[in-house]
Every structure is written in structure tokens, then in C-alpha cells.
Amino acid sequence: MTAPELVLTPSEMKQADLEAMARGIPGIELMRRAGRAVADSAEKLASPGSRIAVVSGPGQNGGDGFVAATILAGRGYRVSLGLLGSLDRLTGDAAEAARDWTGAVVPIEELPLQEADLIVDALFGTGLSRDLDGATRHAVDRMNGSGRPILAVDLPSGIDGGTGAVRGIAVKAVRTVTFAARKPCHLLMPGRAHAGLVEVADIGIGRDILAAKGGSLFGNDPALWLASLPRPGLSSHKYERGHTLVASGGATRTGAARLAARAALRIGSGLVTVASPPEALGVNAAHLTAIMLKGCDGPEGLHAILQDARFNAVVLGPALGVHAGTRAMVAVAVQARRNLVLDADALTSFEGLASELHGAFRHAPTVLTPHDGEFARLFKGHPDILDPESKIERARRAAAYSGAVVLLKGADTVIAAPDGRAAINANGTPYLATAGSGDTLCGLIAGLMAQDVPAFEAACAGAWIHGEAGASFGPGLISEDLAELVPGVLRGLLR
Ligand SMILES: NC(=O)C1=CN([C@@H]2O[C@H](COP(=O)(O)OP(=O)(O)OC[C@H]3O[C@@H](n4cnc5c(N)ncnc54)[C@H](OP(=O)(O)O)[C@@H]3O)[C@@H](O)[C@H]2O)[C@@H](O)CC1
Ligand SMILES: Nc1ncnc2c1ncn2[C@@H]1O[C@H](COP(=O)(O)OP(=O)(O)O)[C@@H](O)[C@H]1O
Ligand SMILES: [K+]
């Protein structure tokens, strides 16, 4: 079985580089391997003998550019090289790499970018320390404005390696070659959109080193949770596959709960029940078949239902209403110590009241699934949670604060556990941005938790399966389609 993908922050990657050097691979050798990988990738984008312009910066990323330029010139490409700053200011391995380059070095503003068939962007990598302005801004503006394809070295210059943010301006690449492991910026937006196709080149830094220096951040893929996915045994009966309870909103707000319920059923929860306010029982009954229905009048009703221990996973939030009654239902579910997924109105009902949730979810597996707006409302008044530039850090802090797994939605969904583990999900599709898509996601997660999948793995698997289902459908997707696409995704996973 393949191991989960390790994603390293720029500072962790630096530690890994240093460790590899300490274990005997000279820095210049790492740089030569990196530069060779860039040259190999450039060959896929530029036909033999064509013109390649390499834009090198003042640090070690620029050094990779010099290595690639030297190799590509040796392979018969017509390579021109522009440098930001002067040759005599280069240090370390970059200075050594520059010595191997026998061609001309021109100031970057003199590089004939328009005439290039390919531009190699080796301006800045993981060492970017401030916003681009003046000459650096101008250089990126010219690269992007050239209309020529750009191959980024390590990451598109101007993108913050740790957060994926654009620092003033950033290169828009068609392809990026990074080294040893992806960095957060390759998965987080907008960095992911700037990077194009990302290729990870092995430069000889072993997984043991990457795991020792990183190890808590992952790309969300099946390797992270496939072993936890439930597979019913020959003699399984439905009660062994869990019973998910989804609370419905009032008579005109019932669809969201049914979407979540359907998703829970499709992902394998043995039974699923919609807990409906009395006035909405008729509407819900008219729409449900395999899913069961129970009257549930507010928090007292929920309390009564949860006396039956077989209801082992609860979804609260979709269209439930923003009010004290919803908060009281959350309190009932927390007290009952069930697997719990809180979304939408269950989060917004705590607007500005996050302190009521401090440590609240430590005692039972809980997943919170806010989008950015819900997250901002929930943690209003908590700058320590809201202010970090990194989405990973925001999710981690919210998880540590609440004791729940926090799944912070978006095109770059981040899932963080209270113990510090985090994963970035990047397999979705913009077609998932459709009403009710989030309701389906929380049903998937709850349905997995009902089958005893631990909260972090359930959230990661739910997000990935949701993304995969959406991507498999594409244009025209509506949220009713999503649950029906789940079996196809599961077949691929469980084969
Ligand atoms: N052996 C190794 O370690 C390996 C490293 N590898 C490669 O090294 C890269 C990391 O190298 P790095 O740490 O030198 O950082 P890098 O991205 O080149 O930039 C730093 C330079 O930019 C400058 N600078 C920063 N921001 C700026 C701004 N806004 N505007 C203007 N200047 C700015 C900054 O100046 P300073 O902040 O010091 O004033 C400094 O001079 C990594 O991405 C990978 O490609 C691979 O070869 C594998 C082996
Ligand atoms: N551009 C996008 N790319 C990938 N996934 C997306 C994108 N936009 C939204 N999504 C996903 O779609 C879902 C939308 O959820 P949410 O905002 O709660 O919608 P709703 O409230 O209508 O159910 C989330 O899982 C989110 O990650
Ligand atoms: K770069």
C-alpha cells in the first residue's frame, strides 16, 4: 500500500535539505539534481533546439536556474539567462552553479522574453521573504505579460510557499517542478492555480528525513485513510453498520437534511433516520423511502431519541435555523457523546459564542464543517484563530481550541485534528460550488463515523470522496447527484 503524501512547509523543507546534507549529500549535488529535474521538465514543454529564457533570482532558487540553463544549453537549446542582482552577490551553492554556466548573464529586464519558446522562472522559491515590488514586480509582470509558457522552479515566484498567497504579484506557470515533496502552496489557493501542473522530483532526500522534519501535514488522498474505510463482513447486519440521525429544519427547510441523510446512506451507514420537527413530518415523509423518519421536537425531542444507543452518529446544522434552540440541540448531542458532525446553522448559531465551545468536543468524535464565512462568524473575537495567514494554521487552531476535527471548506479544503495532524484536499471541482453540496459532505462524514471511522479519517475520506464524485460528473452537477455518484467512487476505492 502506498504511504500518505507528506507535504512540507518551507521551513520544514529547509530542515530536510540540511539533514540530507548532514547525512552526506552535498548541497551542490542536491541543487544539480534539482536543476536536472527542471531541465527534464523543460524538455517536455519545448521542442529540441528552441529558445529558452531562464530568469534567475539572487538566492538558491536562482542557482537551480543556472544548473538547468547549463544542462539545457548542453542539450542543444538556445538558452538565454537573466539575473536579478549581480553575479558576485550570489552565495553558496548558487554561486557554484553560476560558475558552471559559460553563457552570457544579462540583467533580467534585457531578457528577450517575447522571443522565448519557454520561460523558466527561477526568481524566488521557498525563500521569498516579502512582497514583490519595483524591479521584481516588473520582472514578473513581464513574464506573465509575455504570453509565453512558464515553467516554475520549486514554486511560482511571488507565491508564498507556506500559505499559497500572492505576495504582491506572482508568476502564472503552466507547470511547476518542485523537489522532494509538495509544499502547502501547491495545494492551497491561489498558489495551486498559479502552479499549473505540479511535478515532484526525487532529489534523493529519503522519506525518513521528510517524515522526521515534516510528518504532520498531508495531501489528502486515499493512502491517508483507505485502511479505515469500512468493508462489511460476510455476516454483517445493518446495526453493525451504524445508524445516522440527521436533524431536519422546519416545513419549508427540509431538503438539506435529506441530502445529508441520503449521503450517509450511500456511504454505507446501515440505517439513517431524519429527525423532523412535527410540522415538517408530512413533507419529509413524502420524500423518504429507505431513510426512516422520526418526529423530533427541539432539544427535548433529540434527547429522547438519543436514549436509544443505536443512534451512533448525529448531523446537526443543515437548514436547522439560527437560534438558541439549535445551540441547545448541539448541547444535547455533545452530552450524549455521539459521533457528531456540525455544519451550517449549528455553527452560525454560535456566532460570537465560540467560548461556549472551548474544549467542548474533547469527549466524543466531532467534526465541524464550516466554510470561510461560517468560520469567521463562529470565531468572531478570536484573532488568534482567525488571523493567521495560513488556512492550515487557522484550521489547526480551531481544532485545538474546540477539541473537534475542523474541516475548513473551499476549493482548498483543509482538515485539521486537535492533535495537529492536517490534510489539504485538492481533488474537487468548481462544479461543487452548488447549493446543498456541503449538506452532502456532512452526511458522508457522519455516515463514515457511524461505521466507526475515526473523525479525522472520516473527514478526510468524506472530503475526498465528495471531490471525486463531483469531478466525475462535472458540468451540470447539482447536489442531488452527489450521493448517487458515491457508489462509483467507492467501487474504485474498495476493489
Ligand atoms: N541546497 C539547498 O538548500 C537546495 C535548495 N533548493 C532551492 O533553493 C530554494 C530556496 O533558496 P533560498 O532559501 O536561497 O531562497 P530563494 O527562494 O532563492 O530566495 C531567497 C533570495 O531572494 C531574496 N528575496 C526574497 N524575497 C524577496 C523579494 N520580495 N524581493 C527581492 N528579493 C527577495 C532574498 O534576499 P534577502 O531576503 O536575504 O534580502 C534571497 O536573496 C528552493 O526554493 C529551491 O529552489 C534546491 O536547489 C534544492 C537544494
Ligand atoms: N471551487 C471549488 N472547488 C472545489 N470544491 C469546491 C469549490 N467550491 C466549493 N467547493 C466545495 O463544495 C462544498 C460547498 O459547501 P457549502 O459552501 O457548505 O455549500 P452549501 O451550503 O450550499 O451546502 C464544500 O465541500 C466545498 O469544499
Ligand atoms: K520560482
Which atom of ligand 2 is found nearest the CA of 479?
23
Torsion of CA 375, 377, 382, 383, to 10 degrees: 80
The ligand with the least distance to the CA atom of 33 is 1
Range of 284's domain? Answer: 222-494
Ligand 2 pocket residue status of 428, Cβ below 6 Å: yes
CA 437 to ligand 2 centroid distance, Å: 6
* 15 labelled binding-site residue: no
Whose CA is closest to atom 5 on ligand 2? 411
pTM: 0.97
**Residue 195 pLDDT > 90, yes or no?**
yes
Residues 149 and 285 in one domain: no
Out of 214, 234, 255, pick the residue that ends a domain.
Answer: 214
Check residue 233 and give its pLDDT. 79
Examine the fold and report which residue of 150, 182, 214 is the final residue of a domain before the chain moves on: 214
pLDDT score recorded for residue 236: 76
Asked whether residue 141 falls in the same domain as residue 77, the answer is yes
pLDDT 10s digits, 404-456: 999 999 999 999 999 999 999 999 999 999 999 999 999 999 999 999 999 99
Looking at residue 30, its pLDDT comes to 98
CA atoms within 13 A on the CB side of 469: 29
Mutate to test the pocket of ligand 1, among 21, 90, 128 (most ligand atoms within 8 A of CB): 128
185 and 280 in a single domain? The answer is no
- C-alpha cell read off for 345: 446553522
> One-letter amino acid identity for 145?
G
Q: What is the pLDDT of residue 238?
A: 77
Residue nearest to atom 1 of ligand 1 (CA): 27
Answer yes or no: are the C-beta atoms of 365 and 449 closer than 8 Å.
yes
If asked whether residues 50 and 96 sit together in one domain, one would say yes
- What length does the chain have? 495
Q: What is the CATH number of the domain that holds 405?
A: 3.40.1190.20
Among the bound ligands, the one closest to the CA of 412: 2
The answer to whether the CB of 9 is under 6 A from ligand 2 is no
Evaluate if residue 235 carries a pLDDT over 90.
no
Is residue 413 exposed (0-12), middle (13-18) or buried (19+ Cβ within 10 Å)? buried
221 is in an annotated binding site: no
Measured in Å, residue 185 CA sits from the centre of ligand 1 at: 16
Residue 240: what pLDDT? 85
Ligand 1 neighbours by CB, cut-off 6 Å:
17, 27, 30-31, 34, 57-62, 64, 93, 124-132, 136, 153-154, 179
User: Of the candidates 176, 184, 177, which has an alpha carbon nearest to the alpha carbon of residue 214?
Assistant: 184
Which atom, in ligand 2's list, is nearest to the CA of 369? Answer: 18
Q: Which atom of ligand 1 is nearest to the CA of 153?
A: 45
Residue 436: CB within 6 Å of ligand 2?
Answer: yes
The verdict on 340 and 373 lying in the same domain is yes
Choose which residue among 60, 71, 186 to substitute to test ligand 1 binding: the one with the highest number of ligand atoms within 8 A of its C-beta: 60
Q: Which residue has the cell 469500512?
A: 230
Residues within 5 Å of ion ligand 3, judged at the Cβ atom: 121, 152-153, 157
* Section 342-358 average pLDDT: 97
Q: How far is the CA of 382 from the centre of ligand 2 (A)?
A: 24
Total of domains in the chain: 2
Domain co-membership, 201 together with 262: no
Name which of 333, 337, 260, 263 is nearest 298 in CA terms. Answer: 333
Tens of pLDDT, residues 50-94: 999 999 999 999 999 999 999 999 999 999 999 999 999 999 999
Residues 456 and 393 in one domain: yes
Domain boundary among 179, 214, 249: 214
Cβ neighbours of residue 142 closer than 8 Å, sequence gap 6 or more: 109, 113
Q: 140 and 241: one domain?
A: no
**Bond prior to 156 in cis (omega within 30° of 0):** no
| Residue with CA at minimum distance from ligand 1 atom 7 | 61
Residues 453 and 478 both lie in one domain = yes
Q: Is 384 helix (H, G, I), strand (E, B) or coil?
A: helix
CB-based contacts of 235, cutoff 8 Å, min separation 6: none
State the closest ligand 1 atom to the C-alpha of 179, by its place in the atom list counted from 1. 48
Distance separating alpha carbons of residues 31 and 29, to the nearest angstrom: 5
Q: How far is CA 64 from CA 57, 76, 268, 373, 439, in A?
A: 10, 19, 49, 41, 46
What strand order describes the sheet that includes 5-6?
5-6, 217-219, 422-425, 413-416, 405-408, 366-368, 339-342, 313-316, 243-247, 271-276, 292-295
What is the ipTM metric for this complex? 0.97
Instruction: For a ligand 1 pocket test, name from 126, 160, 186, 202 the mutation site with the most ligand atoms within 8 angstroms of its C-beta.
Output: 126
In the DSSP assignment, the letter for residue 93 is H
CATH number at residue 26: 3.40.50.10260
My answer on whether 228 and 141 are in the same domain is: no
- The residue contributing the CA closest to ligand 2 atom 14 is 438
The verdict on 374 and 490 lying in the same domain is yes
Q: Which of 409, 473, 481, 482 to mutate to test the pocket of ligand 2 (most atoms within 8 A of CB)?
A: 409
The per-residue pLDDT for 495 is: 87
Give percent of the chain above pLDDT 90: 97
Express each pLDDT in 321-338 by its tens digit.
999 999 999 999 999 999
* Domain match, 130 and 268 both: no
| 362 CA distance to ligand 2 middle (Å) | 27
Average of per-residue pLDDT values in the chain: 97
Residue 128 banded pLDDT, cuts 50, 70, 90: very high
pLDDT tops 80 at residue 237? no
Q: Which of 344, 412, 353 is nearest to 379 (CA)?
A: 353
